[in-house]
Homo-oligomer: A and B are copies of this chain.
Amino acid sequence: MKVAKFGGSSVANATQLKKVGEIIKNDSSRKFIVVSAPGKRDKNDFKVTDVLINLGDAFVHDKPYLDYMEVIMQRFAEIIEELAISKKILYDIEETINSVLKWDESTEQKLDALKAIGEDSSAKILSEYLNTIGLKASYLSPKDAGIIVSDEPGNAQILPESYPKLFTLRDREEILVIPGFFGYTTTGKLMTFSRGGSDITGSIVAAGVKASLYENFTDVDSVYTVNPNIVTNPKEIKTLTYKEMRELSYAGFSVFHDEALIPAFKESIPVSIKNTNNPEVPGTLIVANKEDKEKCVVGIASDTGFSTLFVSKYLMNRELGFGRKLFEILERESVSFEHSPSGIDDLSVIIRDNQLNADKEEKILKQIKQELNPDTVRIHQNLAMIMIVGEGMMNTIGIAQKATTALTKANVNIKMINQGSSDVSMMFGIQSEDIDKAIQSLYDVFFEN
């Protein structure tokens, strides 16, 4: 019993939806289908959800919104016409939008309900279409599915009571098509997950029905060993563990939303990344545990946009609570940090640039000076992080040597190394401008030789 989730590009138009129908038809164990809202058909296209947000925004600010309405309706009209399914769905969609706008609810609640219409409509269209190609399928609302969430518009969290309810769906005979991205509170209010939340729904359903596999259909063949924008035609990753995936997704691998994997992870359900446009390719399988740990490095991720806060004070390591006090200052300014490597008399904190601004930096520096009385405190910008990831790395002699040799060969100055805190990764910090040559050289050493 499999759960298959189809992303925005897989439901962007009728051609894509026909591919989805074919995929579902080809494997009768694909019983639970989760869909996103129609995404971009090409680079310059729009996503339906973005237009829904614009519509809501215009409406609440008393601005003209009918143009947005028309764009949305036209997109769905095209899809419905090309799939040759009942026009009734189109009236349904229009009716839903209008009724939400007229709701006597909070603005927040209204906007959340509007945002969810893309996924909801995709699910209605797909289930109808599946029936026309000879499959027995039903649209299933998240409310009827039992996806019960916390009362946090735009950031709903799944509640544990959802799972037993979801498990009963195993008894249903037909294929169930469930819209992604939202659930309902115990009092029946619609709440969306954080953006990209269709992956979350898929993962929740997979966990709930205890699926044998959670298939995540996108528009790439697999997860690659390294960013294809940096290295041409990099090798594909066949199998990844959850832990490896998580380390990779941290720095530049954006296949998954971070939160998305948690429900599947907790139930140890394997996750498969596949391509709707190329479904024969095996793709990448993400599992809890991997047998074959021979190839100890599975991938190299990288990301720019980091800063370092550097603090130095003579005899710092004699000062009980120095680190705690520093982290307290950061917490007070709501700055979450990534790592904090420390020396004898020095402590660095790696922070994403989006956590900082000139004002916050000034406040943090001021408080550190006042409360910790350091010899030196400064913030460096323009740092890039590289994660070399693989289970079994820890027990293999020579990985650090291979990596540092590759970087030296590429004439890259290593600003930072953090190895050993994680079982499955090794981190390097370098100057942002060196990132391309660094990654190419590391790729050559770990995957080409």
CB within 8 Å of B: which residues of A?
243, 246-247, 250, 258-259, 262, 265, 310, 312, 314-315, 317-318, 320-321, 323-324, 327-328, 331, 334, 336-348, 387, 394-398, 400-401, 403-405, 407-408, 411-423, 425-427, 429
Q: Is the CB of A343 within 8 A of B404?
A: no
A411–B320 alpha-carbon span in the complex (Å): 36
Q: Is the CB of A417 within 8 A of B420?
A: yes
Q: Is the CB of B315 within 8 A of A262?
A: yes
Among A262, A310, A397, A422, the one with the most B-chain Cβ atoms within 10 Å of its Cβ is A422
Q: Is the CB of A324 within 8 A of B328?
A: yes
Q: Is the CB of A408 within 8 A of B404?
A: no
Q: Is the CB of B421 within 8 A of A414?
A: no
Identify 18 residue pairs between A and B in the complex whose beta-carbon atoms are under 8 Å apart, listed by A's number.
A246-B314, A246-B344, A250-B344, A320-B336, A321-B327, A324-B324, A338-B344, A341-B419, A342-B421, A343-B422, A344-B422, A346-B421, A395-B413, A397-B412, A400-B417, A415-B420, A417-B418, A420-B429
B-chain residues with CB within 8 Å of residue A404 when the two chains form the complex: 398, 400-401, 403-405
B-chain residues with CB within 8 Å of residue A262 when the two chains form the complex: 314-315
B-chain residues with CB within 8 Å of residue A413 when the two chains form the complex: 395-397
Cβ of A108 to closest chain B Cβ, rounded Å: 23
Q: Closest 4 interchain pairs by CB?
A: A343-B422, A416-B420, A401-B404, A417-B419
A348-B421, A419-B414 known; A258-B315 Cβ under 8 A: yes
B-chain residues with CB within 8 Å of residue A394 when the two chains form the complex: 415
Cβ of A189 to closest chain B Cβ, rounded Å: 25
Q: Is the CB of B344 within 8 A of A425?
A: yes
Cβ of A151 to closest chain B Cβ, rounded Å: 21
Residue of B nearest to A405 (CB): B401
Residue of B nearest to A315 (CB): B258
Interface of A is mostly: mixed
A394–B310 alpha-carbon span in the complex (Å): 14
Q: Is the CB of B401 within 8 A of A397?
A: no
A334-B320, A401-B407, A408-B401 known; A345-B422 Cβ under 8 A: yes
A262-B315, A323-B340 known; A346-B423 Cβ under 8 A: yes
Residue of B nearest to A308 (CB): B420
Q: Is the CB of B314 within 8 A of A345?
A: no
Cβ of A359 to closest chain B Cβ, rounded Å: 19
A29–B69 alpha-carbon span in the complex (Å): 92
For the complex with contacts A321-B327, A343-B427, A414-B420, 14 further pairs of A-B residues with Cβ separation under 8 Å are A320-B331, A323-B323, A323-B327, A324-B331, A343-B422, A344-B425, A346-B421, A346-B423, A395-B413, A397-B411, A401-B404, A403-B404, A417-B419, A418-B418
A403–B414 alpha-carbon span in the complex (Å): 13
B-chain residues with CB within 8 Å of residue A346 when the two chains form the complex: 421-423
A426–B414 alpha-carbon span in the complex (Å): 11
B-chain residues with CB within 8 Å of residue A323 when the two chains form the complex: 323, 327, 337, 340
Q: Is the CB of A340 within 8 A of B340?
A: yes
B-chain residues with CB within 8 Å of residue A341 when the two chains form the complex: 339, 341-342, 418-421
A81–B353 alpha-carbon span in the complex (Å): 73
Q: Which of B250, B338, B397, B417 contacts A408 (CB 8 A)?
A: B397
Q: Is the CB of A420 within 8 A of B348?
A: yes
Q: Is the CB of A343 within 8 A of B247?
A: yes
Among A340, A344, A405, A412, the one with the most B-chain Cβ atoms within 10 Å of its Cβ is A344
Cβ of A203 to closest chain B Cβ, rounded Å: 13
A416–B419 alpha-carbon span in the complex (Å): 5
A317-B338, A320-B331 known; A347-B417 Cβ under 8 A: no
A331–B429 alpha-carbon span in the complex (Å): 30
A413–B419 alpha-carbon span in the complex (Å): 12
B-chain residues with CB within 8 Å of residue A398 when the two chains form the complex: 404, 408
Cβ of A266 to closest chain B Cβ, rounded Å: 9
Among A342, A347, A425, A427, the one with the most B-chain Cβ atoms within 10 Å of its Cβ is A342
